[in-house]
Amino acid sequence: MELAEKFIDFGFLKRKNYNDCRHIAAAILAGCDFIISWNFKHVVNVKTIRGIKAITTYEGYKDLMIYPPSALLGEEDEDYGSDDKGTGDQWTL
């Protein structure tokens, strides 16, 4: 996959991480908006995210956002069942 090779050529991922490169390239070519990954060492880090942004911009692809799984959860302090009165009664009908 030519796009995956560019990630290696540009130096922000290594050949030993070729499967990660293919995963990211496939998401870009499929037009995905984002990917979610637990791989903080190779994928979800500033160097890789900036490198992906540089390649997608240079090559004219849609931007791909890369997030950790916690991004799906939103803010941990949100009280989804709150009655908005500050009483703590979450299930008042």
Q: What are the tens digits of pLDDT across the range 41-64?
A: 999 999 999 999 999 999 999 999
**How many domains are there within the chain?**
1
In a domain, 79, yes or no: no
In a domain, 91, yes or no: no
| pTM for the predicted model, two decimal places | 0.74
Residue with more model confidence, 76 or 58: 58
In a domain, 48, yes or no: yes
In a domain, 81, yes or no: no
Confidence of residue 1 (pLDDT cuts 50, 70, 90): confident
Tokens of 24: 């990211």
In a domain, 27, yes or no: yes
CA pair distance 3, 19, nearest whole angstrom: 12
Confidence of residue 74 (pLDDT cuts 50, 70, 90): confident
**Res 73 pLDDT > 90:** no
Q: Where in the sequence is the domain holding 14, given as residue range(s)?
A: 2-65
